Amino acid sequence: MNHIILSETTMYHGTTLRLDLIEPHVAELCFDRRDGPVNKLDRTTFGELSNALAAIRTASHLEGLLVSSARDGFVVGADIYEFAALFALDEDALAARIRGYTAIFTALEDLPLPIVSAINGVALGGGFELALATDYRVMADAARVGLPEVGLGIMPGYGGTVRLPRIAGMACALDWIVSGTQRRADAAPDAGAVDLVVPQDRVRDVALALLREAIAGREDWRARRRRHHQPVVVDPAALEAARLVTARQAAHYPAASAAVELMAKSASASRDAALTLESQAFAAIAKSQAAASLAGLFINDQLLKKKAKNDSAHGRPVGKVAILGAGIMGGGIAYQSALRGTPVIMKDIAQHALDIGMAEAGKLLDKQVAAGRLTQAKADLVKKTITPQLHYDGVDQADLVIEAVVEDQAIKQAVLAEVERHCGPDAVLASNTSSLSITALARGLRRPHNFVGMHFFNPVPAMALVEVIRGPHTSGEAVATTVAYAAAMGKTPIVVQDCPGFLVNRILTAYLLGFAGLIQDGADFEQVDAALEAFGWPMGPAYLQDVIGMDTARHVVEIIAAGYPDRMSAADNPGSLLADAGRLGQKNGLGFYRYETDSKGKARKLAAADTHALLARLQPGGPRTFGAAEIVDRTMLPMLIEAALCMENGVVDSAAELDMALILGLGFPRYLGGPLRYADFLGMHTVVKRCAIYADDGALYRPTARMIEMAAASHTYFA
């Protein structure tokens, strides 16, 4: 058992921080959380900080205070795991709680002695706000600082909107708070938010030396502190620009816009009045749907990271990979693998396909060089680790072989059976399929326990999700190896059970069939797209199918619908009608919409006047106008039901993974947190009630027995 040795110089010792006398008149407040990996601001920390400040106030001989961290980072911010309980308080109680925490920082700021922060590592959110309450900030060159709250659907609540504009000016504060980006040491001092940047191992010494200067009166710390009390000089241009940027997102992500208005309102207020306004504005925003969802996404993401880490410990190391099937997809996978340090053999039967694959990898590397993320020399080295070839030589050395040939069951089966003969006995064999059964593909393999599905999303470099599909014979080791490799590639792997469409495309299909039903009932596809884009989707379902490619989307819908004949039918699918008419979407310039390439080479979406006439063939009742709410329900409810079924069928282990898969794989609106959190937000009772309205539209709107039970018992997917 660890015992804390309290020395005579210890003034206070808690579980998250301690206060020591380090010189006769200088104390050090050191954040050193012992029950977790990082320093964070939870209820315990605030209590202990308050105790430490009381100890400082009683020590009248003190002349200066150093604020530091004994961990790798400084303080990562408020404890996000406490948000759900905290934000469940009613708005007034929440504002009062936040105001109470803010008052502790104010008590630190008002100590009658100079205070210097030694920012040795990340200081984010409340962690940076803590440093802003001190007189000077010395930052390590490797550290990062920032106010990332808007990314969590909230705004700075511990004085950030009050102190940053008073210290660094309104333009800087607006920029930092609205963008939420973390700033590296090269950017922070220019903005005036930190005073000095020094090498990591010098931070504490330099901060202490600065503190001594202030104690000796050679640094006018009182003048600096007075800035914290002065009104902010309003910068009308910066304010206007921030208003413009934030207004666009405000409907679903209100935090940034609310922070801008708060800063405009509190600019002339006294510090304490401004802090009170901040607590009130924070509490209002913390009650928004985005706040609940985005904090939930952070927690889901942490869970996925933990699972991948755990799998890495149980999987076999992957030192070399072979990809069968070059082309755009194979080239993208090869690039991603090589970039992250795993060499690749790229094998195809056609030189032409190898050329396309290598050109794709080269193009992606060039982009990295152009963006300044890679030197040309490093890009050349990475490219050299991709070996294009027409033969199987060396494939026996690969720890993982990814088949990425055409999406045709018979061809894939033949290729898999052939490559298995060239693989090492322990190599994992993975098929990159979006819609074919892993169980069926495993038939004919001699080592089905080594076989797994590995579904990359297109375009590979941009899409974080990889579905890792476990077939009935797939071993735990094969799954763990694939998960670990996907994580090493920088992807987010999610393990799913084999079923038609796996997880993401299965749920997508329910949504696209909801769209098909709307069109059949006379809806205007442009109106449907507009309603769903306003609801938060990056693109509506018609536009999405144009982007995916009508032939691909049609294949996915038809094959998956056939897998669930009790509730899905691909008959009269608008995408199939357009594909039959040769309208393949962006790839041939005509789908639901028409596309022109603009001067930057980007596809520009234009109306295609004849689409309505073509779709009228599917609309026996003629055109009809739908309200936005009905459009949303008729597409979203089938998704929610399919998501519920995936949970009930054990397709995925947890609600967190399901929601993350849809966010990462499909661009599901983040402010909703994923289909299951959205269902929780609506309440299952409401979901079931709304489904009843569309009962006549078929089984796509029939809630499961479990959903009805959940509705009756007011159960939710997330605690």
Q: Which residue is nearest to ligand COA (CB)?
A: 125
CB of 155 vs ligand COA, minimal distance in Å: 9
Angle between helices 504-520 and 525-535 (to 10 degrees): 130
User: Would you say 577 and 615 are in contact if contact means Cβ atoms under 8 Å apart?
Assistant: yes
CB of 615 vs ligand COA, minimal distance in Å: 45
Of 215 and 487, nearer to ligand COA (C-beta) is 487
Of 126 and 574, nearer to ligand COA (C-beta) is 126
262 binds ligand COA (CB under 6 A): no
122 binds ligand COA (CB under 6 A): yes
**Gap between the Cα atoms of 432 and 330, Å rounded:** 9
The stretch near ligand COA (CB under 6 A) out of 124-132, 193-201, 564-572, 707-715 is 124-132
CB of 33 vs ligand COA, minimal distance in Å: 10
Task: Please tell me what DSSP assigns to residue 700.
Answer: G
Of 149 and 697, nearer to ligand COA (C-beta) is 149
**Gap between the Cα atoms of 197 and 194, Å rounded:** 8
User: Would you say 576 and 554 are in contact if contact means Cβ atoms under 8 Å apart?
Assistant: yes
The stretch near ligand COA (CB under 6 A) out of 121-129, 507-515, 519-527, 555-563 is 121-129
User: Measuring CA to CA, which residue among 683, 677, 625, 627 is closest to residue 654?
Assistant: 677
Kindly tell me the number of DSSP H helices and DSSP E strands found in the chain: 30, 20
Site string for ligand COA, 69-88 (x = CB under 6 A): -------xxxxxx-------
**Of these residues, 228, 422, 455, 555, which one is catalytic?**
455
Paired strand residues for 64: 26
448 binds ligand COA (CB under 6 A): no
Among 34, 227, 248, 305, binds ligand COA (CB under 6 A): 305
Among 43, 57, 229, 306, binds ligand COA (CB under 6 A): 306
**Gap between the Cα atoms of 351 and 353, Å rounded:** 5
31-60 binders of ligand COA (CB under 6 A):
37-38, 40
148 binds ligand COA (CB under 6 A): yes
**SS (HEC) of 112-164:** CCCEEEEECCCEECHHHHHHHCCCEEEEECCCEEECCHHHHCCCCCCCHHHHH
* 442 phi, psi to nearest 5 deg: -75, -20
ω before 37 within 30° of 0 (cis)? no
How far is C-alpha 671 from the chain's CA centre? 11
Is 178 exposed, middle or buried, given 0-12, 13-18 or 19+ CB atoms closer than 10 A?
buried
* 322 phi, psi to nearest 5 deg: -120, 140
CB of 227 vs ligand COA, minimal distance in Å: 24
The stretch near ligand COA (CB under 6 A) out of 145-153, 325-333, 596-604, 662-670 is 145-153
Among 9, 230, 268, 302, binds ligand COA (CB under 6 A): 302
Lookup: tokens for 499 = 């079923």
The stretch near ligand COA (CB under 6 A) out of 135-143, 144-152, 235-243, 517-525 is 144-152
Among 30, 53, 66, 152, binds ligand COA (CB under 6 A): 152
Catalytic residue status for 455 = yes
**Gap between the Cα atoms of 558 and 605, Å rounded:** 26
The stretch near ligand COA (CB under 6 A) out of 147-155, 393-401, 447-455, 539-547 is 147-155
What residues are annotated to the active site? 455
Task: Point out which residues bind ligand COA (CB under 6 A).
Answer: 37-38, 40, 76-81, 122, 124-126, 148-149, 152, 302, 305-306
